[in-house]
Amino acid sequence: MTINNNADQLGSDYDVESEEAACKDSVERTEDTVTSIEDTVGQERIDATDVEDLYDNQWIPKATEDNEPDDTRMDGWSFLGIQFAPINIPLQRRLQTLAVLLWFCFILIIGWSSFLILVYIALYTNYWWFPLAYLTWYIGDRSISVKGGRRFTRFRKLKLWDRYTEYFPLTLIKTADLDPRKNYIMGYHPHGVLAAGAVGNFATEGTNFSKKYPGITPYALTLPLNFHMPFTREILMASGMASCSKESMDYLLGQAPGSGHAVLLVPGGAKESTNAKPGTAILYLKKRIGFIKIALRHGASLVPIYSFGENEIYNSVDNPEGSLLRKFQDKLEQLVGLSPVIFQGRGIFQYSFGLMPFRKPMYTVVGAPIDVQQVTEPTTEQIMNLHSKYVDALTELYNKHRHTYSPYPNVDLKII
């Protein structure tokens, strides 16, 4: 055999049998090592699967790179100090950006320009009949926003909204059940710049609200002014949104017990948006008692909600109390209910400036309901007592979850 010939060539000191035994022993040790590695990898895969299951249930924040803002995580290129996005961005992320872009176009661009578009069509084209037809439709339909709107469930379930909630990402966290035999007033805090978390969680099914709260119909309320904007009003109502006027709330909460209506308010409103800055938790709530009075009159349970990360998706210009900018904002808020916030986000193809929100995770924690006994004509004392109870419940909710979900866990909640 060849091995014997080789042994002869190596000399008489070479022991063939000993060498064969040594080789066999080495092979066995190698096989044991490979088996051990496979077992370890398999166990790690099992452990990883278990952890992903927890994340899929949306109870634990994912400490992965997916939660980092794309402007700091993804390697792009820069020019003249502008950080541009890389070319090879995955399609899924592009779709997420598109979903957010479409929504903010509806809110920031289409809504305010639609009047001019209709005027132009009426005066400078042969399609003058279209604005006339729309105006006729609007006049006959203008009161629908105070009667629950015109919800379109299929619109709320579009895959577009899944991409919207994945963009940040946005997570809805349930801490208690809501009885569908009752009606509710949900208070969303903080307002942030544009209340993006309120839209994703309650005006769409992007975070599966209906599955988490079966039998509950959410109505995200917004300014009556928004329902006077052509085309935008149809989009808002299809999302299940309605007017935040007293008439609208009385209609929704005045339904018989068992309707399971949950109206969502952002009590801080435009006033609170002026304090929306990363690393802050300032709520304008001490003087907001109107929704408390309505809750008492209808016996609607109160549900405190805090959305960690809402203030982090935009940067805004400093406007300390007493500054010229803050005085202007406060005055305009008193006159028209809107307060212009000078904010800065990112762009579509670059990360340095723009109107798009940053990719920062938001965790919207829904607290336990506060039962309210119906009082047709509540006294000031009853209103203030319930208000105090609501503030205490909201503060407790914030303190209980801030170390788990807040990017600034050491920041205390401040209510002004």
Task: Please indicate whether residue 65 or residue 180 has the higher confidence score (pLDDT).
Answer: 180
For the chain, the structural domain boundaries read 77-415
Please classify residue 333 by burial: count the beta carbons closer than 10 Å to its beta carbon, then call 0-12 exposed, 13-18 middle and 19+ buried.
middle
- State the amino acid at position 49 in one-letter form: T
pLDDT of residue 7: 35
The mean pLDDT of the chain is 83
**77-79 and 82-84: which strand pairing?**
antiparallel
pLDDT at 172 exceeding the cut of 90: yes
Within 203-326, strands assigned E span 217-222, 241-243, 261-265, 282-283, 301-308, 315-316
**What's the average model confidence in pLDDT over 265-273?**
91
Contact 70, 85 (CB under 8 A): yes
How many other CB atoms are there within 10 angstroms of residue 130's CB atom? Answer: 13
pLDDT in tens, 303-340: 999 999 999 999 988 888 888 988 888 888 878 777 77
Using the structure block, give the residue that is written with the tokens 């208070």.
187
Buried b (16+ CB within 10 A) or exposed e, 345-355: bbbeebbeeeb
Contact 267, 189 (CB under 8 A): yes
Alpha carbons within 13 angstroms on the beta-carbon side of residue 181 total 0
- Check residue 67 and report its DSSP letter: G
pLDDT in tens, 101-143: 998 888 777 777 888 999 999 999 999 999 999 999 999 999 9
pLDDT at 208 exceeding the cut of 70: yes
pLDDT of residue 71: 47
Task: Please indicate whether residue 48 or residue 165 has the higher confidence score (pLDDT).
Answer: 165
**What's the average model confidence in pLDDT over 356-367?**
97
Token reading at 250: 């009385």
Report the distance separating Cα 395 and Cα 65, nearest Å.
30
**170-174 and 362-366: which strand pairing?**
parallel
